[in-house]
Amino acid sequence: MFQGSLVAIVTPMQPDGSLDLPALRRLIDWHIEAGTDGIVIVGTTGESPTVDVEEHCQLIQTTVQHVNKRVPVIAGTGANSTQEAIELTEQAKNLGADACLLVAPYYNKPTQEGLYQHFAAVAAAVDIPQILYNVPGRTGCDISNDTVLRLAQVKNIVGIKDATGGLERGTDLINRAPASFMVYSGDDATSLPLMMMGAKGVISVTANVAPKLMHEMCMAAFDEKFELARKINAKLFGLHQKLFVEANPIPVKWVLQEMGLIQSGIRLPLVTLSAQFHEPLRAAMHAAAVI
């Protein structure tokens, strides 16, 4: 249902931090024309922690309406409160999202049983395809593979975004999960080898600035054209690395601004990219031929 390069799209903002919905619509069109296989809205890269509930819903609605079924739309609806996650997931379903992405509850550090019950409760409450999101480097909470495999038995939990960066771990999931359960890389730098092991694609930061190349790399991997996929990945690898020199989405928003695609807005506590990283990122942009 969802396969390939799924962009974890930024939330464009005006210099004062207000939403820039016209820029979001332009980005969506650019992505679809470039081959992006799906749009993930209000995830980590979309600054979900600092948009309020009304803005969260507005971003999902704007994306669903503007995409107009051209590609799937996956809405970030995770929270560290189970009830809040249920409410956001219900709203995303009502707004027409094709699926939801639910990050592991952050800060409160539940046990593995608590994680299982949290995700199972959201799945039971809202009948929409749901993708787990494991990013322990941000959440302070790690969904174990055994817990993921328990959750894979829940009918509308259809996959996981594995942002651990661990190839061994991702491969173990792919090997042990039901055939219908989709594993996506959540780490651009290791996405190609994980796809070669059987992952269904990548929920990508790099795709924000190089959508055509990310799509082409995924398609080459799926077609077992591994030499071509490796060549594309080598071209992109500087971006895979340098887009994380500071906390995401600081670098990727700076690059998009350099490309003339968005304005400079970003919300506190995030601030614009430190000057020391400008030239390294420009070098990565030139290597990938995005400028």
Q: Which residue has the tokens 């990548």?
A: 202
161 is catalytic: yes
Q: Is the dihedral of CA 129, 141, 161, 179 positive or negative?
A: negative
Nearest in space to 231 (alpha carbons), one of 291, 288, 165: 288
DSSP state at residue 103:
E
Burial class (CB in 10 A: 0-12, 13-18, 19+), 171: middle
Q: Please check whether residue 207 is in contact with residue 185, taking contact to mean a CB–CB distance below 8 angstroms.
A: no
Q: Can you tell me the distance from the alpha carbon of 89 to that of 93, in angstroms, rounded to the nearest whole number?
A: 6
Cβ atoms 121, 82 nearer than 8 A: yes
Active site residue 225: no
CA dist., res. 170 & res. 194, Å (int) = 7
Dihedral sign from CA coordinates of 127, 87, 106, 36: positive
**Catalytic one among 69, 93, 107, 133?**
133
Among 93, 161, 200, 242, the one annotated catalytic: 161
DSSP-H helix ranges across 96-158? 112-125, 136-139, 145-151
Active-site positions?
Answer: 133, 161
